[in-house]
Amino acid sequence: MLDAAILGAVLASIVAAATTLLLASLGELVAERAGTLNLGVEGMMIVGAAVGYATAYGTGSLLLGTLAAILAGMALSLVFAGLAIWLATNQVASGLATTILGLGVAGLIGAPFVGTRLDGAPALKVPGLTDLPVIGQMLFGQDAFVYASLVLLAAVTYGLARTRVGLVLRAVGESHAAAHALGHPVRRIRTLAVMFGGACAGLAGAHLSLAYTPFWASDMTAGRGWIALALVVFSAWKPLWLLAGAYLFGAVSILQLHVQGFGLGIPSQLLSALPYLATIVALVAISALKRGQGAPASLGVPFVPDR
Amino acid sequence: MAENVPANALPASLLEAVGLTKRFGALLANDHVSLAIRAGETHALLGENGAGKSTLVKMMCGLLQPDSGELLYDGAPIVFPDPATSRARGVGVVFQHFALFDALTVVENVALGLAGHEPLATLAARIEDCVHRYGLSVEPYRRVGELSVGERQRVEIVRCLLGNPRVLILDEPTSVLTPDESESLFRTVDLLTGEGRAVLFISHKLDEVRRLCHRATVLRGGKFIAEVDPKTETASSLARLMVGAEVPRTPRSVTHALGEPRLLVNKLNVAGDGSRGSALHDIHLEIRAGEIVGIAGVAGNGQTTLFEALSGEKPVVDQEAIIIDKVAAGGLGPTERRALKAGFVPEERLGHAAAPDMRLSDNVLLTTHGDGEIVRLGIIRRSALLARFQEIVKRFDVRFGGKDPKARRLSGGNLQKFVIGREVLREPVLIVVDQPTWGVDAAAAAFIRTTLRQKAAEGCAVLVISQDLDELLEFTDRIAVMSEGRLTAPVPVAETSREAIGLAMGGAQAAGEGTHAA
């Protein structure tokens, strides 16, 4: 029933669907490993999507659009960092506020662009390889965002495990008091980690509005920011598990679309909920097995130096 | 100042604090405190809890900035804006609460404390070197979360030593060590001073200070009291300087007949969660009415789990494993156990024994709500509550400002008196107390011990878990030792000694090392 061409296209779209999540969750993972729980991912992502789209539409340059999206995500993350890190406010409340703010700002920025369309980021083709049956399009026919997400994954994995910067970042997330006593600038490190998270969320937003679905719609992130947050927990704060989680979500969300196409009589709302459901079930199962292991010990605790 | 060394033999001060003052709100934590440490000497900083020792140390390493006064290093004024600067200049500190990261390995922990960037493999080799040179046993690639408290302290010391410090500050280093581990720490300190380094040794254990230190600075209530030569002082003269008055002693136990067994612990096993000291193996214990049994041991060997299993906070599968006053209580929760007339005082006062932001009178309710006197049919009888509150405050001499402050506003000693009083007035037949006098001043500590003694004389069974061996030897009838989640059989105090208990505290493994240490 499925021939190689369709299968190839399905696989390719799974990877594309997973990339937004992978980008956003990688950034959040870094922020959380440094000890800050930023619930503003959804907000930073949609601001990235709106600013990226507006810039690309105005300038005609996808690259400028992407850069603008990254800067916008970072800017919103600084709002969060200012509240949660420097004023030591409650991180959950500040994160939620950041998301709500982001949704509002993005709606405002995107309002003039409703109904417009862009030419999305082109697939980068490798002659010969892209035409391989089944896997060709998945591996060698993706846009730059997909490859960027994988490079970023490798960099974050290596950076956290093997570099001094990564070690210091993990230490700050593990015990900010101890890191402070050793003379590491806890709040500055956390701010940088949150900014990295904002940049990644902005990039994820750009992927949505400039490549995956190259148009603007006011709620186009559709809760992906929350799924990215859940993935970080589900991965037990390990970058490689993020890849598995993101691709699981991507696979279920693409497959349910095809199942809807078969007309099996299953309510479409239920099928649309499947990716979220599957991710949450996997999350609960894994956290039950690991019993909360891997969480940075200072996660979510504001740091106030006593002087 | 008592100085017996000729003046020309004195090396100049290496690190000197001159008139340091630090105020936290209304509390004057340090009031013009001065202290000079010389190269090649072990200098003691003596004082009770709350005397301002930690504040002084934090100012000397840049963790806190003094409000006034200055630091001299090599005779020249210096400001340490942060601990990294002081460490780079050669001042290393090992704090009481270690600045270690449980999830990381020893070598990663050490790397975080060093300024330069160094491959972990060469660093591990340097750690091995340092370990051999100073007789500290540490394995570089173990995860710190798996280490005992003594091992963690050695990791901290190694981390400091790799920075090649000229001054090493040890904040209450022996409070977490077995007597054997303390001995080996003293040897390390002697090696360090022999190399011309200065060691500031903070302690309130007078015997240690008299043995190890060349000079001692005594603080009391944030003020400089005296600088003395500890070798020419007696333990009681030092204690007088520290406390400012004669130290009250707990009256010796009065012999009285023992009654029925009030607490029976029978083959109590608790599975751990993987972290150190979370599992219990085959615990047996019997406490009869009228006696005080002490459990000694270094922190993190299962005492917290044992307390939680006894209080009902940690469920026990085997109903018969804990029998309180002849009732099998293994599956009962804390309130049901209290209904059997048992009382529990946990180690952590704020957050476990008392709710920090609730008024003291409301805190009375935390353990009395099930007694049927203060709460009836779900309604709090305010008058009965206040009456009980007044009684606790009056009989146990709980002092505080205001009429009914929040629990967090009380000093450690007063809050502990309140918490103990709250349990004692419930007329329990069994009291389990974890660290009864931790961080409590000497007078309050003596009062608490006397109270528990008196309860025992009235026929209550008392179990005391403490890290303070001297305290246990002073006022308990029998002592058991906890090590690696196992409990030795309790031995009458008269038939045991510090040394024997110390060996048991180190467990079977350390017992072998202990023979050549003696």
pLDDT of the residue at B516: 37
- Tell me the mean pLDDT in the region A20-34: 96
Instruction: Give the position of tokens 């049956």.
Output: A133
Q: What is the DSSP letter of B341?
A: T
pLDDT at A61 over 90: yes
Q: What is the pLDDT of residues A112-125, one digit of tens each?
A: 999 898 888 888 87
Q: What angle do CA B248, B57, B506 make, to 5 degrees?
A: 65
Partner-chain contact A177 B99, CB within 8 Å:
yes
pLDDT of residue B517: 35
Q: Best mutation site among B82, B89, B93, B144 for testing chain A: the one with the most A CBs within 10 Å?
A: B82
d(CA B364, CA B58): 36
Task: Please report the pLDDT score of residue B254 as a whole number.
Answer: 58
| Identity of the amino acid at B186 | F
pLDDT of B252:
61
First to last CA, chain A: 70
User: What SS3 state is found at B350?
Assistant: strand
Segment holding B268, helix H or strand E: strand B261-270
Strands B375-376 and B379-380: antiparallel
Range(s) within chain B of domains with CATH label 3.40.50.300: 7-90+165-243, 261-517
Tell the residue number behind the tokens 């917290």, with chain if given. B304
Residue type, B290: G
Is the CB of A295 inside 8 Å of chain B's CB atoms? no
In 3D, which of B108, B103, B100, B141 has the Cα closest to residue A296?
B103
Asked if the Cβ–Cβ distance from A291 to B95 is below 8 Å, we say no
Q: Output the furthest CA–CA distance in chain B (Å, rounded).
A: 79
Position A260 scores a pLDDT of 82
The type of residue at B141 is Y
Encoded tokens for B65: 């900035």
Q: In the CATH hierarchy, which fold is given to the domain comprising B261-517?
A: Rossmann fold (3.40.50)
> Hey, where are the domains in chain A?
4-290
Q: pLDDT at position B6, please?
A: 44
As given in the structure block, the two tokens for residue B137 are 């046993």
> ipTM of this complex > 0.95?
no
pLDDT band at A273 (very low <50, low <70, confident <90, very high): confident
pLDDT at residue number B163: 87
Query: Nearest residue of A to residue B117 by CA position?
Result: A164
Three-class secondary structure of residue B12 per DSSP: coil
Put simply, whether A126 touches B (Cβ < 8 Å) is no
CB contacts of B113 in chain A (<8 Å) are 182
- Rounded Cα gap, residues A16 and A77, in angstroms: 25
Across the range A137-159, mean pLDDT stands at 90
Residue B153 to chain A, least CA–CA distance (Å): 14
Question: Which stretch of DSSP H or E encloses residue A174?
Answer: helix A164-174
Residues 261-280 of B with CB under 8 A from A: 273
Query: What pLDDT sits at residue B8?
Result: 46
On the question of pLDDT at A263 being above 80, the answer is: no
Low-confidence ranges of chain B (pLDDT < 70): 1-11, 246-256, 274-276, 507-518
CA-based angle A155:A63:A227, to the nearest 5?
A: 55
A306 chain-B contacts, CB cut-off 8 A: 64
pTM of the model: 0.76
Cα angle, residue B275 at apex, residues B271 and B277 outer, rounded to 5°: 70
Q: Identify the CATH number of the domain defined by range A4-290.
A: 1.10.3470
Task: Compute the nearest-CA separation of B191 from chain A (Å).
Answer: 25
Chain A partners within 8 Å of B98 (Cβ): 178
Q: Measure A33 CA to nearest chain B CA, in Å.
A: 12
What pLDDT is recorded for position A10? 86
CATH class of B7-90+165-243: alpha beta
Q: Do B117 and A164 touch (CB under 8 A)?
A: yes
Give dist(CA A158, CA A240) in Å, integer.
11
Examine the pLDDT at A230 and tell me if it is beyond 80: yes
